[in-house]
Amino acid sequence: MSDEPFTLDELYQAIEQQLSSHLPGVKAVTAWPNIKDRIALPAVFIEMAEMEPGADIGTGQTSLICRFEARIIVDPIRAQHCEQAAHLAAQLAVLLRLQTWGVAVEPAEFVQAMQDWTKPELDGYTVWVVEWTHKLYLGAEDWPWSDDPEVVPESGGYPVEVVWAPEDSP
């Protein structure tokens, strides 16, 4: 485990790499693209759309449930552009199953895939959006207690003794 806390940049890079290698025919995969730039199509644009609090796991890190969106953009001049966009969305949905991208996040949970008209700057293209969530933990771990049960914390705590064990039962 690295001494450095996990970052969102690591996650974006890992997602970009995996999608680039697992979606055949896609010419560009990028997180937070500048849509004014010229991009070869078909393309996949990745962004985080939402963050909600996750359950505290007691490590001092911030637990978040993050919703990600991948927009699959296809040139409408291509033959069968609607079919190509839908097929790429389905391939991405399959790829998401138990996906961690090789970084320290909980496995992806697929939410939905559908045609998308929510980005006016993409009007004129065939667009599908695939949504999923990841639970992730950000920030440095903060564990104020010793891992050695024989050492009493400075706060005045006491070591725990086992006073009953199953083998002592009648």
What does DSSP say about strands 28-31 and 126-138: parallel, antiparallel, or unpaired? unpaired
Choose between 152 and 94: higher pLDDT.
94
Q: What is the pLDDT of residues 14-51, one digit of tens each?
A: 999 999 999 988 999 999 887 777 788 999 999 999 99
Q: Is residue 65 a contact partner of residue 53, using CB atoms and an 8 Å limit? A: yes
- Mean per-residue pLDDT for 139-145? 73
Whole-model pTM: value is 0.79
The per-residue pLDDT for 161 is 57
Tell me the CA distances in angstroms from 93 to 108, 134, 142, one per residue in order. Answer: 10, 14, 35
**From the centroid of its chain, how far is CA 33?**
17
pLDDT interval class at 60 (50, 70, 90): confident
Exposed / middle / buried, residue 93 (Cβ in 10 Å: 0-12, 13-18, 19+): middle
* pLDDT band (50, 70, 90) for residue 7: confident
Domain boundaries, the chain: 8-143
- Cis before residue 166, ω within 30 degrees of 0? no
Domain spanning 8-143: CATH superfamily: Phage tail protein-like (3.30.2000.10)
For 123, residues 6+ apart whose C-beta sits below 8 A from its C-beta are: 117
Read off the pLDDT band of 6 (50, 70, 90): confident
